[in-house]
Amino acid sequence: MRLETELFGATFQNPVLLSSGTCGFGRELAEVVDLELLGGFVTKSVTVEPREGNPAPRVAEFGAGMLNSVGLANPGLTVMRREKLPWIRDHVRRPRVFVSVAGREVDDYRTLVEAMDGYDGFLGFELNLSCPNVSVPGGRPFALDPDAVRAVVERCRARTQRPLLAKLAPNDPTLETTVRIATEAGADGLTLVNTLPGILLKGEGVPELGAGQGGMSGPALRPTGLLAVRRARAATHLPLVGVGGVTHALDAVAYARAGASLVQVGTASFADPRAGTRIVKGLRRWGARRGVEAWRDLVAPAPLEAGTGSITKNDPVTDGA
Ligand code: RRO
């Protein structure tokens, strides 16, 4: 099965990326994983100022996944520009890299995009609008506030020609509206989904995580991620990136069937750092057994009437099966 995928004006050698927050800035994983075999990766979310993150413990496992409250710990924009981006430029060849950005204010996103746009070595930005673990003014993640989604995407759009992915939330009762707003505001693709808010309690009723609640990920998130991709597929022409519980090659196939052109592997990499490359190999084997010629033949296209965005060359409607 041919895994190459043309999207956002670039070639992805395969559709498997590592998700934000699970691979640092690439370097952290390079010693244990051959990054060059991946379709790409998304960096840990970067904020303007460095952030210490939330109190330990920051992660806890449960039977069907894990809960995290890292709290956006990251080295900030200055170190990103001085160390992280140059490392990526000098060491990453084939994988397509997205830089994830996050902020407390709408304008933080614009500042970050503008400040990194001139650097080499990465393809685009993933706007993290959906971190469940840090408080923002208004108390809900930007992804659950339509005005904030529009403002962030529009302001970033005005500052860069690079591909912009908007990363949305799993607990959005009006997902179709959010998807349409992000489309109209100028996103090039959507990443669905971030982690789902949850809490784990010990016998005494004390939360397992230092911060109390966190974001749930892993296999238990897969049905939610698949549903979100399917709903989004009906509401926009934009390419979709599916994330949530991708553990085996068949999970990636399911996301394609729901409408995702790319998938991201997250929690599975914690148990097995080679999960991403294992899934790439598994997809090739699965395709060969099934006689499927190309990954893009699996990707459910957008319905003809979907969304408000214009149809582009890389749109699944024209470029897909
Ligand atoms: O750092 C985190 O706690 C975190 C982030 Br920014 C996010 O987007 N999703 C998540 O599960 N954790």
- 176: helix, coil or strand? helix
Give which of 67, 65, 63 is closest to 54, Cα–Cα.
67
3-class secondary structure per residue, 181-222:
HHHHCCCCEEEECCCEEECCECCCCCECECCECEEEECHHHH
The ligand 1 atom at the shortest distance from the C-alpha of residue 44 is 6
CA of 28 to the centre of ligand 1 (A): 18
Q: Which residues belong to the active site?
A: 131
Question: What stretches of the chain show up as alpha helix (H) in DSSP?
Answer: 27-30, 76-79, 85-91, 106-116, 146-157, 175-184, 222-233, 249-258, 268-271, 275-290, 316-319
**What tokens were used for 166?**
């908007």
DSSP letter (8 states) at residue 271: H
β-bridge pairing 214-217 and 65-68 = antiparallel
pLDDT tens-place values along the chain, 321 residues long: 999 999 999 999 999 999 999 999 999 999 999 999 999 999 999 999 999 999 999 999 999 999 999 999 999 999 999 999 999 999 999 999 999 999 999 999 999 999 999 999 999 999 999 998 887 777 789 999 999 999 999 999 999 999 999 999 999 999 999 999 999 999 999 999 999 999 999 999 999 999 999 999 999 999 999 999 999 999 999 999 999 999 999 999 999 999 999 999 999 999 999 999 999 999 999 999 999 999 999 999 999 888 654 433 343 333 333
The ligand 1 atom at the shortest distance from the C-alpha of residue 70 is 3
Report the C-alpha gap between 23 and 19 in whole angstroms: 7
**What tokens were used for 112?**
């970050």
Q: Bin 44: left if φ > 0, else alpha if -120 < ψ < 50, else beta.
A: beta
Pocket test for ligand 1, best of 23, 68, 192 (most atoms within 8 A of CB): 68
CA of 73 to the centre of ligand 1 (A): 9
Which residues, judged by CB distance below 6 Å to any ligand atom, belong to the binding site of ligand 1? 21, 45, 68-72, 102, 128, 131-133, 194-195, 215
Give the list of residues 6+ apart from residue 115 with CB closer than 8 angstroms, or none. 77, 81
CA of 185 to the centre of ligand 1 (A): 24
CA of 41 to the centre of ligand 1 (A): 16
Using the structure block, give the residue that is written with the tokens 């970067």.
46
CA of 294 to the centre of ligand 1 (A): 33
Q: What are phi and psi of 298, to 5 degrees?
A: -85, -20
Report the C-alpha gap between 181 and 80 in whole angstroms: 30
Q: Amino acid letter at 237?
A: H
Q: How far is CA 4 from the centre of its chain?
A: 19
Report the C-alpha gap between 179 and 227 in whole angstroms: 14
Provide the pLDDT for residue 135.
Answer: 77
Pocket test for ligand 1, best of 22, 42, 43, 45 (most atoms within 8 A of CB): 45
The answer to whether residues 131 and 102 touch, using CB atoms and an 8 Å cutoff, is yes
Q: Which residue's CA is the nearest one to ligand 1's atom 1?
A: 72
Pocket test for ligand 1, best of 70, 130, 165, 221 (most atoms within 8 A of CB): 70
**Buried b / exposed e across 148-166, counting CB within 10 Å, b at 16+?**
bbbbbbbbbbebbebbbbb
Q: How far is CA 174 from CA 95, 145, 159, 216, 257, in A?
A: 33, 10, 28, 20, 22
Report the C-alpha gap between 9 and 312 in whole angstroms: 10
Give the list of residues 6+ apart from residue 131 with CB closer than 8 angstroms, or none. 45, 72, 102, 141, 194, 215
Q: Which residue's CA is the nearest one to ligand 1's atom 7?
A: 131
Report the C-alpha gap between 160 and 311 in whole angstroms: 20
The answer to whether residues 101 and 45 touch, using CB atoms and an 8 Å cutoff, is yes
Tell me, yes or no, if the pTM score tops 0.85.
Answer: yes
CA of 237 to the centre of ligand 1 (A): 27
The ligand 1 atom at the shortest distance from the C-alpha of residue 45 is 6
Provide the pLDDT for residue 138.
Answer: 75
